[in-house]
Chain A
Amino acid sequence: MKFETPATTNPIDRLKVIGQPIHRIDGELKTTGRAMYAYEWHDPNTPYAYGYPVGAAIAKGRINAMDVTAAKSAPGVLAVVTTLDVGKRKKGKFNTANLFGGDEVQHYHQAIAVVVAETFEEARAAAALVKADYAEERGTFDLSAERRAAKKPDESQEPDTAVGDFEAAFRSASVTLDQSYTTPDQSHAMMEPHASIAAWNGDEVTVWTSSQMIDWWRSDLATTLGVDKGKIHLMSPFIGGGFGGKLFLRADAVLAAFGAKAANRPVKVALPRPFVINNTTHRPATIQRIRIGAERNGKITAIAHESWSGDLPGGGLETAVNQTRLLYAGANRMTAMRLVTLDLPEGNAMRAPGEAPGLMALEIAIDEMAERVGMDPIEFRIVNDTQVDPEKPERPFSHRDLIGCLKLGADRFGWSNRPKVGSRREGDWLIGMGVAAAFRNNLVLPSGARVKLDRQGVVTVETDMTDIGTGSYTIIAQTAAEMMGVGIDKVAVQLGDSRFPVSAGSGGQFGANSSTSGVYAACIKLRDAIAQKLGFNSGDAVFENGIVRSGNRSVPLAEAAGPGGLVGEDTMEWGDLAKTHQQSTFGAHFVEVGVDVATGETRIRRMLTVCAAGRILNPITARSQVIGAMTMGAGGALSEELAVDTRRGFFVNHDLAGYEVPVHADIPHQEVVFMAETDPMSSPMKAKGVGELGLCGVAAAITNAIYNATGVRVRHYPITLDKLIGGLPDVA
């Protein structure tokens, strides 16, 4: 099915199951420990062996030689495979650095060997015995030092845009702002590290892994191993968090496959936590410059956003200016992104790539600008709202209710009680409130599904869609139940298996809308098959309460299925509605913080996020996405930073003691409100993504609240106490 014209009324609009607060259908499996994550697959009759990775000890250079004699003769060792043994491989389409193979070291902790042994402990001990002789080369690791050498990337990365005459408009504006902001490198820090089990059967290999994108992994694994894609069977039914860190094939799967081949046994490989940080991908740091010019009445006349980020040769931009191309009006505008070569581990997508760090800066700038023009920051945003793409005014937004979010949020949060800067104190706490807009584009990808109806009237959905903790199982079951007119207890969902139709996968907040649309399409096929079998006109067949009805004939679905059952399979494809209409999601974050007047410690007291993200398929799982994102934003604002050692070229704080994500005590009362809306331009589900929206802008709202509390404006994340105490009142 191709979605080419705006959705009209369809069976989803019945909202008997869709939109209902249904608990996760896989919740019981997860809370009772029966959901099998990649490393946990365990067939008692399978003689698993354990692989442990060895990472490069330098950031850049070549490996002259490796000595694995000691490792090979260590107790329990079955095989040692080195990067020199396997030689240079073809690189997967989605990888920037090589995962394994060849003598080149492109970044610290790049995999250089895997040691396979009878037990995990034996493998780990032997891995420490692998020796490598390096020819170290000088690398570049310091974004700010290298900024001058930044280059404009090729046009496919869309580095620049410009409309009108920014410079002139900025020069003549009555009120201006010109500031720089920085965001640090960040780690996905998901709970479940990357892990895989590989088992060969002749020239075929089955890999249980933790992947957001089954088909991408499968293709890239085929390329890297040099085997036919058809020989690879990939399974990833449960994923303990990904946040973009599991979008692309990673070394665990490659090492498991090579290790299993060498040991002639199924092999399990999990990346140790430090490898999650230096072996896999991260969100690249940015330096951003924002200039805004406005009239005294608050109307923006000029806006410019430039960003610098780094990556390995062949890598890409952190697209931190993208939201600025769309979020606020202003006749004269420019954006530009430049790329620096850095020999740090590969930069790549992390939850809301681009928008998350971009809004961390832009939404501080907007707060600063509002103050300069003497307006409330909500009012300032409302004055500069736009209902069309400001760079291409002929493209309207499909639906945009940023103003509604801001107004409703202000009301719910008690925004009118916001104190004057630095004026409210409770005991040792300086109290402040902040606001920021949330913005994230709504993306869609083709998504396929197969839906089966059996003689018991049970509907089974099969798709290679993944559930990375987001609730895919549940919303897919809801979609099938709604479409087929059955209760959710009559739907089974099977995900994350490469034998199933290729789906959108999980990422870029495209998963929910795209994958349920694929299920919608497959259900339409199944409905047609049922109607045809019964001789009904599919146009007027009604599927309801486990029955299909047409005129005065009605047949239970179980009976309609017959002994052989019926199947519908289809892929949702997308027309050009996304080109003619800008599809985005919007929100508003409100935060109240307390800052300790003596120590500068910031503690969040309240958070509210209002989201306008199309139809909410399930308010429970959607809320869970948003509060998780708000929590991630709190980490981004206050503590998360990969510390770069600019001499040795690696992230130093490579464990969860050093890379501080929020703990429960950091997270206060969180409230989430969804605007009641639908977006018929987005899909037959009329839904949009929400999983990343919740992260976009939170950190700036926190930073703005800190400013409101203390009068100290910090433009360099994370906002740790050392950046505040210099501006706090004397307490000694």
Chain B
Amino acid sequence: MRAFTYERASSVEAAAKAAASNPEAKFIAGGTNLLDLMKLEIETPTHLIDVNGLGLDKIEATPEGGLRIGALVRNTDLAAHETVRRDYGLLSRALVAGASGQLRNRATTAGNLLQRTRCPYFYDPNQPCNKRQPGSGCSAIGGFSRQHAVVGVSDACIATHPSDMAIAMRALDATVETVKADGSRRAIPIADFHRLPGDTPHIETVLERGEFITAVLLPSPVGGKHIYRKVRDRASYAFALVSIGAIIHPDGTGRVAVGGIAHKPWRVEAAEAELPKGARAAARGILADARPTEQNRFKVDLVERALGAVLSEARG
């Protein structure tokens, strides 16, 4: 970990401005991802802007009938919130499927969206990795890639986005609300928030330098059965091999976002039309153009099988 300076931001605007004025600065929320990366010098900010004291830890109803989730709401609090549990069960279930109780107590809504990949080569500074060191190459391609992405991959990077929460946010059509360094605000649909790796896997979201997340907005509840199915090698405390976040209505229609298979929460709206026909048809659409490696080819089958289980659970 390199030495850094530290400040506690006094307001949202001040936080964005402080970040914009120092290209080497980073926000710190729960710190559960950033600090680990700093210890390994994968992230080397020279300045940390602590955003924990800005009052962004509230969950409020919106006039449109949805929810406004403050960027600093802890994963534990979000998962336990009564309205979330009642109307956005998928979100609650996805959250508690992630990490551990202690981590969820610290982890925040914005931090969770921005957590970085768990590709093991990304974590080892001795190995080539385009995401860590642009242009150095991708060690996972042709290497240990069992956990890696099967869709939306590029020749530069096949990493996944590891968040469970983000899968639910994607299925729920959340919007990320931000403040830019110049003080202007914008709302980014979650579908557009994370990027595919392309030639620039080190650029993971559409956020601009210094842009600060203030909240995540959920539209009004859509009903249906909310199921989050996380498939993993051990029963807890493991990242998903594949996860399915689904909202299924009694007539068999619904939405599905898939985790563990792409550089972003993966949702193919066109494939959702196939849901009433069953998992095979829908999975085919979700995984069109899949480019798995020898080691993660199983994920293609696994998505279909896990989706099959989810649909049969939904039928109840």
State the A residues within 8 Å of B (CB).
57-58, 75, 108, 121, 124-125, 128, 274, 428, 596-601, 603, 638-639, 643-645, 647-648, 652-655, 657-658, 660, 662-666, 718, 720-722, 725-726, 728, 731-732
- Please state if A599 and B143 are interface contacts (CB–CB under 8 Å): no
Residue of A648, A664, A665, A725 touching B302 (CB-CB under 8 A): A725
Assembly CA distance A653 to B229 (angstroms): 25
Residue of B1, B39, B280 touching A732 (CB-CB under 8 A): B280
Q: A648-B139, A648-B143 are in contact. Are A654 and B124 (CB under 8 A)?
A: yes
Determine how close the nearest CB of chain B comes to the CB of A573; give it in whole angstroms: 45
- Please state if A599 and B233 are interface contacts (CB–CB under 8 Å): no
Assembly CA distance A153 to B84 (angstroms): 64
Residue of A57, A647, A655, A657 touching B126 (CB-CB under 8 A): A57
B298 CB-CB contact with A under 8 Å: yes
- Please state if A647 and B142 are interface contacts (CB–CB under 8 Å): yes
- Please state if A732 and B41 are interface contacts (CB–CB under 8 Å): no
Q: Which residue of A is nearest B126, CB measured?
A: A57
Residue of A57, A664, A718, A732 touching B305 (CB-CB under 8 A): A732
Assembly CA distance A618 to B279 (angstroms): 55
- Other A-B pairs, 8, CB within 8 Å; known A599-B302, A653-B120, A654-B120: A598-B305, A600-B302, A638-B233, A652-B121, A663-B238, A665-B234, A666-B235, A720-B233
Assembly CA distance A654 to B118 (angstroms): 12
Residues in B with CB closer than 8 Å to A721 are: 231, 233, 241, 298, 302
State the B residues within 8 Å of A (CB).
1-3, 39, 41, 118, 120-121, 123-127, 139, 142-144, 146, 229, 231-239, 241, 278-280, 283, 298, 301-302, 304-309, 312
Residues in A with CB closer than 8 Å to B233 are: 601, 638-639, 660, 718, 720-721
Residue of B41, B146, B231 touching A601 (CB-CB under 8 A): B231
- Please state if B143 and A722 are interface contacts (CB–CB under 8 Å): no
Assembly CA distance A658 to B119 (angstroms): 9
Determine how close the nearest CB of chain B comes to the CB of A585; give it in whole angstroms: 29
Determine how close the nearest CB of chain B comes to the CB of A191; give it in whole angstroms: 15
Residues in B with CB closer than 8 Å to A57 are: 126
Tell me the interface secondary structure of chain A in the complex: loop
- Please state if B1 and A124 are interface contacts (CB–CB under 8 Å): yes
Determine how close the nearest CB of chain A comes to the CB of B146; give it in whole angstroms: 7
- Please state if A658 and B120 are interface contacts (CB–CB under 8 Å): yes
Residue of A653, A654, A658, A732 touching B283 (CB-CB under 8 A): A732
Assembly CA distance A274 to B139 (angstroms): 18
Q: Which residue of A is nearest B282, CB measured?
A: A732
Determine how close the nearest CB of chain A comes to the CB of B295; give it in whole angstroms: 9
| 7 A-B residue pairings within 8 Å (CB atoms) | A75-B3, A428-B309, A645-B139, A665-B237, A722-B302, A731-B308, A732-B308
Residues in A with CB closer than 8 Å to B241 are: 721
Residues in A with CB closer than 8 Å to B278 are: 732
- Please state if B236 and A665 are interface contacts (CB–CB under 8 Å): yes
Residues in B with CB closer than 8 Å to A601 are: 231-233
Determine how close the nearest CB of chain A comes to the CB of B234; give it in whole angstroms: 5
- Please state if B305 and A722 are interface contacts (CB–CB under 8 Å): no
Assembly CA distance A428 to B124 (angstroms): 39
Tell me the interface secondary structure of chain B in the complex: loop
Q: Which residue of B is nearest A57, CB measured?
A: B126
Assembly CA distance A647 to B280 (angstroms): 37
Residues in B with CB closer than 8 Å to A653 are: 120, 144
Q: Which residue of A is nearest B143, CB measured?
A: A645
Residues in B with CB closer than 8 Å to A658 are: 118, 120
Q: Which residue of B is nearest A128, CB measured?
A: B41
Residues in A with CB closer than 8 Å to B280 are: 732
Residues in B with CB closer than 8 Å to A662 are: 234
Determine how close the nearest CB of chain B comes to the CB of A58; give it in whole angstroms: 8
- Please state if B309 and A124 are interface contacts (CB–CB under 8 Å): no
Assembly CA distance A645 to B140 (angstroms): 9
Determine how close the nearest CB of chain B comes to the CB of A623; give it in whole angstroms: 23
Assembly CA distance A338 to B40 (angstroms): 39
- Please state if B304 and A732 are interface contacts (CB–CB under 8 Å): yes
Assembly CA distance A94 to B177 (angstroms): 60
- Please state if B234 and A660 are interface contacts (CB–CB under 8 Å): yes
Q: Which residue of A is nearest B279, CB measured?
A: A732
- Please state if A598 and B306 are interface contacts (CB–CB under 8 Å): yes
Determine how close the nearest CB of chain A comes to the CB of B249; give it in whole angstroms: 19
Q: Which residue of B is nearest A597, CB measured?
A: B309
Q: A638-B233, A638-B234, A666-B235 are in contact. Are A125 and B3 (CB under 8 A)?
A: yes
Residues in A with CB closer than 8 Å to B124 are: 274, 652, 654
Residues in B with CB closer than 8 Å to A603 are: 235
- Please state if B1 and A121 are interface contacts (CB–CB under 8 Å): yes
Residue of B120, B139, B298 touching A722 (CB-CB under 8 A): B298
Q: A57-B126, A654-B120 are in contact. Are A663 and B236 (CB under 8 A)?
A: yes
- Please state if A732 and B307 are interface contacts (CB–CB under 8 Å): yes
- Please state if A652 and B144 are interface contacts (CB–CB under 8 Å): yes
- Please state if B39 and A598 are interface contacts (CB–CB under 8 Å): no
Residue of A645, A663, A728 touching B235 (CB-CB under 8 A): A663
Assembly CA distance A75 to B233 (angstroms): 43
Residue of A108, A596, A720, A725 touching B301 (CB-CB under 8 A): A725
- Please state if B127 and A648 are interface contacts (CB–CB under 8 Å): yes
Assembly CA distance A281 to B237 (angstroms): 26
- Please state if B144 and A731 are interface contacts (CB–CB under 8 Å): no
Assembly CA distance A274 to B39 (angstroms): 13
Which 10 residue pairs of A and B lie closest in terms of their CB atoms, listed nearest first? A598-B309, A722-B298, A665-B235, A57-B126, A665-B236, A731-B308, A732-B280, A732-B279, A732-B308, A643-B144
- Please state if B234 and A599 are interface contacts (CB–CB under 8 Å): no
Determine how close the nearest CB of chain B comes to the CB of A604; give it in whole angstroms: 9
Q: Which residue of B is nearest A661, CB measured?
A: B234
Assembly CA distance A664 to B101 (angstroms): 13
- Please state if B1 and A639 are interface contacts (CB–CB under 8 Å): no
Assembly CA distance A375 to B11 (angstroms): 75
Assembly CA distance A707 to B174 (angstroms): 44
Residues in A with CB closer than 8 Å to B231 are: 599, 601, 721
Residues in B with CB closer than 8 Å to A648 are: 127, 139, 143
Q: A645-B143, A725-B305 are in contact. Are A731 and B234 (CB under 8 A)?
A: no
Assembly CA distance A666 to B306 (angstroms): 20
Assembly CA distance A596 to B308 (angstroms): 12
Q: A125-B2, A128-B41, A598-B308 are in contact. Are A643 and B302 (CB under 8 A)?
A: no
Determine how close the nearest CB of chain A comes to the CB of B145; give it in whole angstroms: 10
Residue of B118, B232, B305 touching A731 (CB-CB under 8 A): B305
Assembly CA distance A638 to B32 (angstroms): 28
Residues in A with CB closer than 8 Å to B298 are: 721-722, 725
Assembly CA distance A666 to B234 (angstroms): 6
Q: Which residue of A is nearest B298, CB measured?
A: A722
Q: Which residue of B is nearest A658, CB measured?
A: B120
Assembly CA distance A657 to B124 (angstroms): 13
- Please state if A726 and B301 are interface contacts (CB–CB under 8 Å): yes
Assembly CA distance A601 to B241 (angstroms): 11
Assembly CA distance A660 to B307 (angstroms): 25
* Most central of A597, A643, A665, A732 by chain B CB within 10 Å: A732
Assembly CA distance A647 to B121 (angstroms): 13
Residues in A with CB closer than 8 Å to B235 are: 603, 663, 665-666
Assembly CA distance A566 to B77 (angstroms): 64
Assembly CA distance A58 to B126 (angstroms): 8
Residues in A with CB closer than 8 Å to B126 are: 57-58, 108
Assembly CA distance A665 to B309 (angstroms): 21
Determine how close the nearest CB of chain A comes to the CB of B113; give it in whole angstroms: 19
Determine how close the nearest CB of chain A comes to the CB of B130; give it in whole angstroms: 16
Residue of B2, B41, B143 touching A652 (CB-CB under 8 A): B143
Residues in B with CB closer than 8 Å to A725 are: 298, 301-302, 305
* Most central of A599, A644, A647, A663 by chain B CB within 10 Å: A599
Residues in A with CB closer than 8 Å to B120 are: 643, 652-655, 658
Residues in B with CB closer than 8 Å to A600 are: 302, 305
- Please state if B309 and A599 are interface contacts (CB–CB under 8 Å): yes
Residues in A with CB closer than 8 Å to B118 are: 657-658
